[in-house]
Structure 1
Amino acid sequence: MIPYAADIDRLPPYPLDLDDGQRERVDRLLSGVVVSLHDHPVRLPDPITPESWAEHTRVGTEHIGHAGLNGSGLTIVLASSLVEPDQDRLLRWADQMRAGLAVSATGPRLLPALEDLGSIGTDLDGIPALYAAGIRSSGLAYNAGNPLGGGLGQPVDEGLTPLGRQAVGVMNQLGMLVDLAHVGDRTSIEAAAASSEPVVISHAGARARWPSPRMKPDDVLRAVAATSGVIGVEAAPGSTRVEGRPEHDLDAVMAHVEYIAELVGVDHVGLGPDTFFGDHAGLYAAAGWAPQPVPGHEGVPLPDHVAGMENPAEAPRNAAGWLVRRGWADADIAKILGGNAERVLGTVLR
């Protein structure tokens, strides 16, 4: 039997150094609406090795971190699958997630979501099938692109295809959120313009703060905000760094929150931590995934974890504490924690 990571107290609490009044503010804020636009709220094998990951994948059973989620303050989590090209496997995953949600009625509402629509190929009838299975958000394309449009890992993004434009229309009509997190820059701008509903970047950051293709340039951030959409700032190891700072930690992640809020307004910023319960960096190694190198920063090592934003349970509390400590107003913190995302979900979902 595969051992799995704990979803409570796997690592020591992050030291926020708040006084009693600040802690009371954080607790009050977390009693409101708190939304993660992108997380993997499941427990990873522990230890995670190529062998344990292969066995976990073969068995195909997800272990939702109910105990951790129940104490997180989260209200809604867009619970994402990993990239999966097989439509039938994705439909089985969605069924399993729905069954897992029935275990606990006290935790956050989990909405199944996809990294991309690569599993449908060129058959747009696959989108209603995913929606019928309970999936309420999907990226259009992943890094390498697909028949719908360009991915952020391609040297040339040729933009949203006619089929991609139709896919956006189908998603709008169904009430499925259009996510541009892994989509190329040109395709992102064109998809935002094509959508009749708000779109999101569920998990990324600002390229102005860290020059990675995985981050988004200002024109893409503005295009999403122009739809009344939201940018969820992520915290996967190695993603939302800050140029000139060696650490990837809570301070670095929140620097992206601050930048995006200043660029497009606080009404368009949220959280999409992109975390697991378990060793995220270890998953990269076990699965043989290599994060894209950042031009000019190829030698920067991948951190073991992002201190303060390591898992789905601690991320919203520590983000709230950081914003309180920095003097943000409660009304703006509440928007970032979940108010903005709730507005978009309420507009788009049927």
Structure 2
Amino acid sequence: MLEPAEQYKQYRSYSYLEAGVDYPDIPMAKEVGRVPAYAGLELDTEQRARTERLLTENVVISLHDHPSVFPEDLAGDLREYIRTGRELTGFEGLARSGMTAVFDNVMDGTCCISSEGGWKWTDVLHDLGMRMSDLAHQDYLVKGESLADIRAAHADGKMALVFALEAATMIENEVDRLDILYGFGVRQIGIAYSEANYLGSGLKERGDGGLTYFGERAVTRMNKLGLAIDLSHSGDQTSLDVIKHSKQPVFMTHCGSREVWPTNRMKPDAVIKAMAERGGVIGLEAAPHTTLSPAHPKHSLESVMDHFTHLVDVVGIEHVAFGPDTLFGDHVGLHDTFSKNLSIGQAHGHVEYEKQPYVDGLENPAECFYNIIGWLVSHGYSDDEIAAVVSGNIIRVLEEVWF
């Protein structure tokens, strides 16, 4: 983890308002130091210097994260916090991450302002608008809507925040809502989040009917708008149908290989290969209890990198990146609280695993890319290979998708 970026001016979320007056004053989790630092990397002086150089000199992009801060006491405060519709952004943690851009997948599966079910149209717009109000009152994070924004952020020592959504459930059967989301700044969107919707099937369903006729219309509109498409939570057949129907390459922003860990939450290598053959990229996932491996069943950086090395062999390093899917706070506790919304049981199926309190080495957005790059440095990857997986592969797709 790095020292805070020079351009970060200690801004805290919604500090232009008064906590306890304008919104509830809820104790929040630490953005830095919530759990012990990762001890699994043993870098010598030269390797540490190279890791820091690669992290600061390169454009570094997280293809999928949730850089929000969550309450310290999830059991007592989480519901009240979410119902306020005012989630805090972890500015301090992001300023220490070394990232140039983060695809912020706002928490709309658990955005339960008006409904326990999440994914409601008005709640999603509320969530996006409130977050943009916060961004407008500071100048370290810039709203990322183009590659020019990302490159400018890197040149200026700042960070671009790209709004993304894990599913298009909230558009219901209104394809024009995609245009409205694009107007709000959304630049990446999923098809379905585990549960089936008007577009297609999610990964939790017993059967997968594939992309619907409306889903085909929606994918066509996404292509026309310049919305990057994410298949991470979509069913296998729906994913294959999207890959075939889309005129542009697509992402799996946060998952891993089902051949390494056999759960619904992972994608079969055959589907990953189909995506790669059309030019797409997979981002390696690190949310708790997802990218486990037989060699490292206690979820850690090493578990995730077992998926990385496998997929480099399967599709080539030019189709692999990272979408850690982390947040600031107790991610395991959040899963426990919202297991129904997040389809935790159906995603894991009947595969047994030993529950961990956090993912060691990839616990939050502040530490992920230092440890990822450090691992790549210690395992002999070249500067060009590292640059490709931390941003180059993503940029190649965005150059085609974002116009």
Tell me which amino acid in the other structure corresponds to 2:32.
I
Separation in structure 2 between the aligned mates of residue 76 and residue 101 of structure 1, nearest angstrom = 14
The answer as to whether partners of 1:202 and 1:231 remain within 8 angstroms in 2 is yes
The answer as to whether partners of 1:69 and 1:107 remain within 8 angstroms in 2 is no
- Compute the TM-score of the two structures, normalised by the length of structure 1: 0.96
Separation in structure 2 between the aligned mates of residue 46 and residue 348 of structure 1, nearest angstrom = 39
Aligned residue in 2 for 1:335: 388
The answer as to whether partners of 1:137 and 1:177 remain within 8 angstroms in 2 is yes
Quick check: 1:100 aligned with 2:125?
no
The answer as to whether partners of 1:236 and 1:306 remain within 8 angstroms in 2 is yes
CA-to-partner distance for each residue in 1:140-178, whole Å, 9 max, x for gaps? 111111111111111111111111111111001001011
The answer as to whether partners of 1:101 and 1:110 remain within 8 angstroms in 2 is no
Aligned residue in 1 for 2:115: none
Matching of residues 62-141 of structure 1 within 5 Å: 62-82=87-107, 83=109, 84-102=118-136, 103-105=138-140, 107-141=158-192
CA-to-partner distance for each residue in 1:5-26, whole Å, 9 max, x for gaps? 1212222321211001111111
Tell me which amino acid in the other structure corresponds to 1:104.
D
Matching of residues 1-350 of structure 1 within 5 Å: 1-15=25-39, 16-31=41-56, 32-49=58-75, 51-82=76-107, 83=109, 84-102=118-136, 103-105=138-140, 107-243=158-294, 245-289=296-340, 291-292=344-345, 294-298=348-352, 300-350=353-403
The answer as to whether partners of 1:36 and 1:78 remain within 8 angstroms in 2 is yes
Question: Counterpart of 2:167 in 1: which secondary structure?
Answer: coil
**Matched positions, count:** 348
Separation in structure 1 between the aligned mates of residue 338 and residue 99 of structure 2, nearest angstrom = 29
Question: Counterpart of 2:122 in 1: which secondary structure?
Answer: helix
Separation in structure 2 between the aligned mates of residue 44 and residue 324 of structure 1, nearest angstrom = 32
How far is the alpha carbon of 1:75 from its aligned partner?
A: 0.7
Separation in structure 1 between the aligned mates of residue 243 and residue 297 of structure 2, nearest angstrom = 34
The answer as to whether partners of 1:53 and 1:287 remain within 8 angstroms in 2 is no
Unaligned runs of 5+ in 1: none
Tell me which amino acid in the other structure corresponds to 2:121.
Q
Tell me which amino acid in the other structure corresponds to 1:307.
D
Separation in structure 2 between the aligned mates of residue 343 and residue 29 of structure 1, nearest angstrom = 19
Tell me which amino acid in the other structure corresponds to 2:201.
G
Separation in structure 2 between the aligned mates of residue 158 and residue 285 of structure 1, nearest angstrom = 29
Separation in structure 2 between the aligned mates of residue 313 and residue 63 of structure 1, nearest angstrom = 15
The percent of aligned pairs where both chains have the same amino acid is 41
Q: Which sits farther off after the overlay, 279-288 or 153-162?
A: 279-288
Separation in structure 2 between the aligned mates of residue 148 and residue 182 of structure 1, nearest angstrom = 13
Separation in structure 2 between the aligned mates of residue 265 and residue 46 of structure 1, nearest angstrom = 41
The answer as to whether partners of 1:232 and 1:270 remain within 8 angstroms in 2 is yes
The answer as to whether partners of 2:96 and 2:366 remain within 8 angstroms in 1 is yes
Moved >6 Å (runs of 4+):
none
How far is the alpha carbon of 1:189 from its aligned partner?
A: 0.9
Separation in structure 1 between the aligned mates of residue 223 and residue 185 of structure 2, nearest angstrom = 15
Tell me which amino acid in the other structure corresponds to 1:297.
V
Structure 1 pair 101/342, CA: closer, same or farther in 2 (3 Å)? farther
Aligned-residue RMSD, C-alpha: 1.4
The answer as to whether partners of 1:150 and 1:157 remain within 8 angstroms in 2 is yes
Question: Counterpart of 1:38 in 2: which secondary structure?
Answer: strand
Structure 1 pair 295/93, CA: closer, same or farther in 2 (3 Å)? closer
Question: Counterpart of 1:178 in 2: which secondary structure?
Answer: strand
Separation in structure 2 between the aligned mates of residue 192 and residue 344 of structure 1, nearest angstrom = 14
Question: Counterpart of 1:292 in 2: which secondary structure?
Answer: helix
Separation in structure 1 between the aligned mates of residue 222 and residue 128 of structure 2, nearest angstrom = 17
The answer as to whether partners of 1:66 and 1:107 remain within 8 angstroms in 2 is no
Separation in structure 2 between the aligned mates of residue 162 and residue 295 of structure 1, nearest angstrom = 29
Question: Counterpart of 2:204 in 1: which secondary structure?
Answer: coil
Separation in structure 1 between the aligned mates of residue 98 and residue 395 of structure 2, nearest angstrom = 15
CA-to-partner distance for each residue in 1:183-241, whole Å, 9 max, x for gaps? 00011011011111110001000001000000000111012112211100010000000
How far is the alpha carbon of 1:345 from its aligned partner?
A: 2.1
Unaligned runs of 5+ in 2: 1-24, 110-117, 141-156
Separation in structure 2 between the aligned mates of residue 95 and residue 242 of structure 1, nearest angstrom = 39
CA-to-partner distance for each residue in 1:295-316, whole Å, 9 max, x for gaps? 5523x23311100011111111
